[in-house]
Structure 1
Amino acid sequence: MAEGLRVAVGGATGNVGTEMLRILEQRGFPAAEVIPLASAGSAGRRVPFRGAELAVQDLGGFDFRGTDLLLLSTGAANARETAPRAAAAGCVVIDNSSAFRMDPALPLLVPEVNPAALAGWAARRILPVANCSTIQLVLALKPLHDAAGLKRVVVSTYQSASGGGRRLMQRLLSPHDPVTVDMRALLHEAQLATTAGGDPPLPFNVVPQIDVFLEDGRTREEWKMEAETRKILGLPDLPVSATCVRVPVLVGHAEAVVAELDRPLPEAAARALLDAAPGIVVVDERRPGGYAMPIAVAGTDEVFVSRLREDRAFPHGLAFWVVADNVRKGAALTAVQIAEALLRRGDAFAGRGAA
């Protein structure tokens, strides 16, 4: 192994940043130095890495000169300022926000799906990571498209609280004791909060809104899923219809998908294709519990496909269920996998860290 890289992790105290540090360590990423970065308010905190504790530095004031790689997980507004600044200093930026995903000059890469897109890494030295719900969807769609062509996709999501950050997770982890709580009083309290125009309660509820509404009635999360799926698969005219729902689950996004194909693809053949696809695990037994669920996949790296069956609403239709850990595979792991793919190319870091 040649000289390791100097790697910065932006947003290192958040859900995704914490997971990035864990994954860098677990996968033995060739980093000679890892620098955790966060907001000025978090500077000075310490985070664990490789048996030691690293001091968090201020992201806003950090000088990226001499840094090879920035794994960035902040909001889009921060990313629009930080990513170009780091790239101008010679750093390669892998950004988990939505800031650059639909920039036509930049590739939107999911390594198992469109690895050839990595050739565009040098456009501005910024590589956006797709939306968490999109990543697991395109992993399942890719082998079906390669075999029989995609004609249209309809997807409904069941997205966990972790997708909304730690504050939403805390709202879900209510202090109420489920054994002794007066359910009628709790529900009345939630109804009052909703009527008053506040954020809808998540415990004991499902919320059919993620992100803001657009003029056409979709939410921004739904638009992101539709637009990113087309970009990643290289199918600009593919009809994709998404309905995105927040559910009272801590970690793990689930999706109910119907894909209409151009050509017939028997269920058994689709199952075999998915089972052989990189990053996919098929868990599909027609019995209680014989399917993937968020509670069972938390902390895993794969995308799980279950409930595969022929759909009767569309010609050549397949229906299936897709589940993945949205913090890990849907964000942190995919960012690290992109960095690993850059290492294998050998041109992004001038040979540093390459085998």
Structure 2
Amino acid sequence: MQATASAHCLHLLSSFTPAAFTAGGSACRRRNAAAPATVRMALREDGPALAVVGVTGAVGQEFLRVLSDRDFPYRNLRLLASRRSAGRRIEFEGREYVVEELREESFAGVDVALFSAGGSVSREMGPAAVERGVVVVDNSSAFRMDPGVPLVIPEVNPDAMTHIRLAGRAKGALIANPNCSTIICLMAATPLHRHAKVVRMVVSTYQAASGAGAAAMEELEEQTREVLDGKQPTCKIFKQQYAFNLFSHNAPVLSNGYNEEEMKLVKETRKIWNDKDVKVTATCIRVPVMRAHAESVNLQFEKPLDEETARQILKGAAGVVVIDDRASNHFPTPLEVSNKDHVAIGRIRPDLSQEGNLGLDIFVCGDQIRKGAALNAVQIAEMLL
């Protein structure tokens, strides 16, 4: 019986491999595999010259899929990565591109650069690109808390970057993409914040392996097979067993007892909402899910907000979908939002510990590679046009 159960689990696991969750193969492939490969009309002379930095990584590959899905207009495209990835060939929308080694001179003639190559690369190459007149949309944490750099979620605080446009600009600029957990949380909380003003927010995150990259996803798959086979799990990415387990997020723990991931939620929320007084606390947990993060969010409001009003507000909000079927116990799950653009919200209910409709609990799921990274960055780039 145990062998049968293990075989069944392994069969299920085969459907949830890292390749399956990152769309796999060439970045030019659309999700509709039957669609013919054609050069699309959005490759046009009036579009910006575009560069993707870190193109061979998981988010870099997702940049390409999102650009294609949204028909982002560009007149030419430059794919940039580290020296070890230079020379690779990538097919994208009917054309073959050779990945170039990232250098300062790589940005000559570029209008917009989407960065996802890590903080150290961004700190070195981001300003170098800006000096050459490029508008950089950076996915790392390097510039998020810089007071001179907008930290933007297009559905939440588009006004933060209204002073930056491509047309008629005299110089380059930096725009920061928030942390994935912050984006997913604020997509849900902000519509309610606008209505009743959030004064305190308590967030617990359940973060997938994909947030730590493709290698972490591969290790989760490998560990699952090993544990089911009665073997000791391989622990290279994380220092402890990940399969059939959960643990505190692997970001460094600071002197205040919070880890860096938790403090990102605290600091970035205050900057994005332009509210230094909003109280935010977070606990971030790594869970054995391949892709897409989940978050439990408790909100305390300045003004009363009842459950049904909140539900109607969220149903009308941009970029979110409400999945809140109590009768069938159907609420958002990571699987349902994987490879999806929207953030799903459910478990909308009053906080019974607070009187006078001053508190709500919600449960949120979002694909942190898609909306939590690549999609948000491309939406920022669209706002520049």
TM-score (normalizing by structure 2) = 0.83
Equivalent in the alignment of 2:101: 58
Equivalent in the alignment of 2:4: none
Using the alignment, how far apart are the partners of 1:287 and 1:177 within structure 2? 36
Give, in angstroms, the shift of residue 342 of structure 1.
1.0
Counterpart residue identity of residue 83, structure 1: G
Using the alignment, how far apart are the partners of 1:230 and 1:175 within structure 2? 38
8 Å contact from structure 2 (residues 200, 300) kept in 1: yes
Give, in angstroms, the shift of residue 290 of structure 1.
1.3
Where relative contact order (Cα < 8 A, 6+ residues apart) is larger, the structure is 1
8 Å contact from structure 2 (residues 136, 172) kept in 1: no
Give, in angstroms, the shift of residue 314 of structure 1.
3.1
Q: Does 1:317 align with 2:356?
A: no
8 Å contact from structure 2 (residues 224, 244) kept in 1: no
8 Å contact from structure 1 (residues 98, 130) kept in 2: yes
Runs of 4+ in 1 over 3 A off after TM superposition: 120-124, 175-180
Equivalent in the alignment of 2:208: 160
Equivalent in the alignment of 1:201: 241
Equivalent in the alignment of 2:260: 220
Equivalent in the alignment of 1:296: 336
Counterpart residue identity of residue 375, structure 2: L
Structure 1 residues 62 and 2 mapped into 2: Cα distance closer, same or farther (>3 Å)?
closer
8 Å contact from structure 2 (residues 206, 284) kept in 1: yes
Partner-residue secondary structure (3-state), 2:248: coil
Partner-residue secondary structure (3-state), 2:256: coil
Using the alignment, how far apart are the partners of 2:373 and 2:124 within structure 1? 20
8 Å contact from structure 2 (residues 246, 288) kept in 1: yes
Equivalent in the alignment of 1:38: 81
Equivalent in the alignment of 1:333: 375
Cα RMSD, aligned residues only: 2.0
8 Å contact from structure 1 (residues 210, 220) kept in 2: no
Partner-residue secondary structure (3-state), 1:332: helix
5+ residue gaps, structure 2: 1-43, 166-170
Using the alignment, how far apart are the partners of 1:249 and 1:229 within structure 2? 25
8 Å contact from structure 2 (residues 53, 116) kept in 1: yes
Using the alignment, how far apart are the partners of 1:226 and 1:324 within structure 2? 19
**Which runs of structure 2 are paired with 1:236-255 in the superposition (5 Å)?**
236-255=276-295
Structure 1 residues 222 and 180 mapped into 2: Cα distance closer, same or farther (>3 Å)?
closer
Select between 49-58 and 12-21 the one with higher mean Cα deviation: 49-58
Select between 63-72 and 47-56 the one with higher mean Cα deviation: 47-56
Using the alignment, how far apart are the partners of 1:247 and 1:179 within structure 2? 16
8 Å contact from structure 1 (residues 267, 318) kept in 2: yes
Give, in angstroms, the shift of residue 69 of structure 1.
0.7
5+ residue gaps, structure 1: 344-355
Equivalent in the alignment of 1:25: 68
Q: Deviations over 1:271-300 (max 9, x none)?
A: 000110111100100145511100111111
The sequence identity of aligned pairs, in percent, is 43
TM-score (normalizing by structure 1) = 0.90
Equivalent in the alignment of 1:3: 46
Q: Does 1:130 align with 2:172?
A: no
8 Å contact from structure 1 (residues 106, 124) kept in 2: no
Q: Deviations over 1:128-186 (max 9, x none)?
A: 0000000011111111111111110000000111111111111111165479512xx54
Q: Does 1:283 align with 2:340?
A: no
Aligned residues: 335
